[in-house]
Amino acid sequence: MPTVLESGSMEKAYNAGEVEEKIYNNWEKKGYFKPEVNPQGKPYCIILPPPNANGDLHFGHAMFVIEDILIRYHRMKGCQALWLPGTDHAGTETQFVFEKKLQEQGKSRFDYSREELYKMIWDYVQENRGGIDKQLRKLGFSLDWSRSKFTLDEDIVKIVKQTFRKMYEDQLVYRDYRLVNYCTRDGTSFSDLEVVNKETEGSLYYIKFPLKNGGFVTVATTRPETFLGDVAVMVNPKDKRYKDLVGQTVVLPFIEREIPIVADEYVKMEFGTGAVKVTPAHDFNDFEIARKHKLTFPPIIGFDGKMQNTKGILDGLYVKQARTEIVNKLEGAGFIEKIAPHKMVIPTCYKCKTVLEPLPLEQWYVKVQPLISNAIKSLDNKFTKIYPANFTPILKSWYAGLRDWNISRQNVWGIQIPVWYNTTGHEAEFNVSFIDKKGVSQSGSLDEVLEKGHSMEEILKGLQKVNAPITSEVVFEDEKKENGRYLPETDTFDTWFSSGQWPYVTLKTTKLGDFEKFYPTSVMETGYDILKAWISRMLMLGLYVANGQHVEDLGKIKDTVPFKDVVLHGLVNDPLGKKMSKSKGNVVNPLEVVDQYGADSVRLALVYGTALGNDQAMSYTKLDASKKFANKLWNMARFIEMAEKDTNQIFEVTDSLAELKNSIKDSVNLDWIEKTEDLSQEITAYLDKYQFNLAAERLYDFIWHDLADKYIEIVKKDSLNREGWIVLKTVYLTSLKLLHPFMPFVTEEIFQTFLGREKSIMIEKWPTVVS
RNA sequence: GGACGCUUAGCUCAGCUGGUAGAGCGCUUCAUUUACACUGAAGAUGUCGGGGGUUCGAAUCCCUCAGCGUCCACCA
């Protein structure tokens, strides 16, 4: 029964700021965010894409309102709706931020052992944690906070390590020595996906290499400084110009090293001079070629970005300086034929924009072929569907060109790759760097440092980095023999390796039975910008992890996809349509906008008028319109409430429109009930098809331009007719329920004003038409 | 060099399983001690980027061209 209203209980205008926090806290206290509010319902689950644990809310996160709409809708439909929150440790990102802080204090990561550094970053993240949760609450997100997870939670780390071990046993991960994209500033390698290719105006240098038998061969290169590491000159076997040169010997300038001229189809005759220098240690193609022709690959660029092993010619110089230096030298000695301007693409670090160097390093790789094949099966058979659909071919074409995935990162902040290397008998081949007990940095081969009197315990304690040869014996913690001498892998996993298992690891570690109940999850909703980085990895790893092995069976694939639907939203740009970025200084803080307009208005403005998957420019006029709409809703309620007060009665409402219909005599009122039934059917259909903009527009239009502008006027003219008031109030409250997923706070405030504080619109039944 | 998206009213954008166009803001006129001025009523404004095709009929499907944007790509 509705409570008796106090006279004049409603303010003239709706004040979002005053009610939102109070309402949210009440919801949470009552436990409405937990799936257990509908213990008998069908499971429905969305896993929140975990924001960085130490980050702040931005408009991308605000777009998660789509997930809240889906969750609230399904909760009202009676589902056991679980929206599971969590945060990500964001390895590279976080360590990058932290190292910047260290730098400000005049320190660097190399001043600490791994353990110390990890502890420091852990504390730093703890300090900043919780901010993002508060901010998500402000937007009204009905997340089940009792199930919140962090990627570095012990139970999660354990599963991620198990996955790795399983994959190792199944030969889906392997270790290899090959070129990686290495950032010499951040001190780590990256996967291909993290490389930002930048087009720049460079130069093509034509260098005359002297032949042993006299004469020259001219090679064209964009990287003259690397010729000191060259192992061959290569021409196309069909190239008549160089027919006689194949098999001859080149004598490299200054260092007088002799290298062969070889033939390979790979060389394009029309490019440059048709003769190319081969630098296996610092060029991806050359590396492959060198393997094929069984050439050596001496590295002349170090992990510090400085030249090395150049017989003193360029040693110690940074690559850029080295280039200028060597070009001058070559020019002075008459080895430069010409220098031509040349458009080229250089790989840069997505974090710090440093030019990435291809450097040879032992790393762990995921063998992607079997995983991709299953991921594609799940797409082709529509076990997982992507909305909007045009993102499906984008993902598939990315899969098609994917090379094995480098998951090793030379970061401390992350999940350590859980393997050990047996050094026994191979001490000379292992390189270690560590901080000794006096706090002094040491490095060298294991042999050397042991001979200097450092103990194994001391090395392990201060360990910063191990370079284990590719041939070393790999063991897991429990496989170590008592008298063995082992060094741990010091690299950590690519963050996406752990977050790629997120739907599985979260549901496995929240509440007993969650996994069985909620996996496969219903929807994965995120910005299209992480389709490749994240969605693709979850699909690849999810199928594998959930089955505990690689499966071929379609039925099993169907039952173990990490999510049935993928819903992708677009980017929120600045009011002028430009991408928001800190460096441009055009970042708008969504929380400030919430303070100004109210969470409901921000939510509505974000879904209204933008088709799914399309970018939008943040719009103040849309925010104004949304705020006016909230106020309109409020005043509609106030109108009804004032009528109740004036006539000193309560207009009783029923949940069921169908039931109400039976008792209605006036055909106009009947019409409005039917219109509302149609509305609820339309909104339901729109939501089921993820057409949030259309649902929002329809609700806005109906409530404002039908209900308020027309029906209220009709009822007003015949204000002594109680039936009209009852239908009006019922229709109004019904449309509020339909609107609730979009604007949870106003709709709740109004609902409770009419029906009492102990009721809640968020657990009301979704108005569906039973025919 | 590929792929995807966008091009619709002055501005920002919806609409696209085909039936000759919609919203918000803006503009014009009027109303108004009104639930709400964070209001209502009426109205003006568009050869739906250009060209071609399919169709009884296309903003919506196909082809093509142009401009813009985004993503991808190891060519020295």
- With beta carbons less than 8 A apart as the criterion, state whether A96 and A351 touch: yes
pLDDT digits (tens, 9 = 90+) for A752-761: 999 999 999 9
CA of A23 to C1' of B33 (A): 35
- On the question of pLDDT at A88 being above 60, the answer is yes
List protein-proximal bases of chain B (any atom < 7 A from a CB): 3-6, 12-16, 22-25, 35-41, 70-76
Interaxial angle between packed helices A744-755 and A599-607, expressed in degrees from 0 to 180 and rounded to the nearest 10? 130
Separation between Cα atoms, residue A396 and residue A379, nearest integer Å: 8
Q: What is the mean pLDDT of chain A?
A: 91
Distance A719 CA to B41 C1' (A): 21
Q: Considering only CA atoms, which residue is closest to the C1' of nucleotide B11?
A: A621
Query: Whose C1' is closest to the CA of A284: which nucleotide?
Result: B74
Measured distance CA(A645)–CA(A595) in Å, rounded: 32
Angstrom distance, A352 CA to B32 C1'? 61
With CA of A389 and C1' of each nucleotide, the nearest comes out as B4
Among A227, A228, A224, A245, residue whose Cα is nearest residue A236:
A245
Q: Are A299 and A282 in contact (CB under 8 A)?
A: yes
Q: Cα A164 vs. chain centroid, distance in angstroms?
A: 20
Distance (Å, rounded) from C-alpha A452 to C-alpha A458? Answer: 12
- Banded pLDDT at A736 (limits 50, 70, 90): very high
b/e map of A465-503 (b: 16 or more CB within 10 Å)? bbbbeeebeeeeeeeeeeeebbbbbbbbbbbbbbbbbbb
User: Which pLDDT score is estimated for A48?
Assistant: 97
DSSP helix/strand/coil, A716: helix
pLDDT score, position A351: 82
Q: What is the ipTM of this complex?
A: 0.93
Closest CA to A87 of A43, A134, A35, A30: A134
Relative to beta strand A486-488, strand A419-422 is: antiparallel
Quickly give A718 CA vs B27 C1' distance in Å. Answer: 36
Q: Which two tokens stand for residue A158?
A: 């354990």
Is residue A312's pLDDT more than 60? yes
Distances (CA, A) of A264 to A239, A240, A289, A528: 10, 13, 8, 41
**pTM exceeds cut of 0.95:** no
Q: Residue A609, CA: closest nucleotide via C1'?
A: B14
Query: Strand runs (DSSP E) across A226-377, as ranges?
Result: 232-235, 249-251, 258-263, 275-278, 336-349, 357-366
The C1' atom of B2 and the CA atom of A292 lie apart, in whole Å, by: 28
Tokens 């401390």 belong to A412
CA atom of A148 to C1′ atom of B9, Å: 48
Q: What is the pLDDT of residues A325-343, one digit of tens each?
A: 999 999 998 999 999 888 8
Residue type, A556: K
pLDDT of residue A1: 27
Over residues A33-62, the mean pLDDT reads 94
What is residue A771's predicted lDDT score, i.e. its pLDDT? 47
Give the Cβ contact number of residue A680 at 10 Å: 19
Residue type, A596: Q
pLDDT at A608 over 70: yes
Residue at the smallest CA–C1' distance to nucleotide B72: A398
Give A3's pLDDT tier (boundaries 50, 70, 90): very low
Residues A358/A283, Cβ–Cβ less than 8 Å: yes
Question: What is the pLDDT, as a whole number, of residue A770?
Answer: 56
pLDDT tier at A8, thresholds 50, 70, 90:
low
Give the CA-to-C1' distance from A683 to B14 in angstroms: 16
Q: Which residue is nearest to nucleotide B12 (CA to C1')?
A: A619
Measured CA to CA, the distance from residue A468 to residue A463 in angstroms comes to: 13
Q: Which nucleotide is nearest to A274 (CA to C1')?
A: B76
CA angle A503, A505, A510 (to 5 degrees): 95
DSSP one-letter code for A665: -
Bridge partners, residue A525, by sequence: A567
* pLDDT tens profile A630-663: 999 999 999 999 988 888 888 988 888 888 888 8
Q: How far apart are CA A700 and CA A627, in angstroms?
A: 12
pLDDT for res A2: 32
Nucleotide B21 C1' to residue A734 CA (A): 31
A674 CA to B45 C1' distance (Å): 35
> pLDDT tens digits for A367-386?
999 999 999 999 999 999 99
In the structure encoding, which two tokens stand for residue A520, read together? 């496969």
How far from chain centre, in Å, is Cα A594? 24
- Provide the pLDDT for residue A5: 37
Residue nearest to nucleotide B26 (CA to C1'): A621
Nucleotide nearest the Cα atom of A577 (by C1'): B12
| pLDDT tens by residue, A233-261 | 999 888 888 888 888 899 998 988 999 99
Nucleotide nearest to A390 (CA to C1'): B4
Q: State yes or no: cis peptide before A39, omega within 30 of 0.
A: no
The tens digit of pLDDT for each residue in A702-725 reads: 999 999 999 999 998 888 888 899
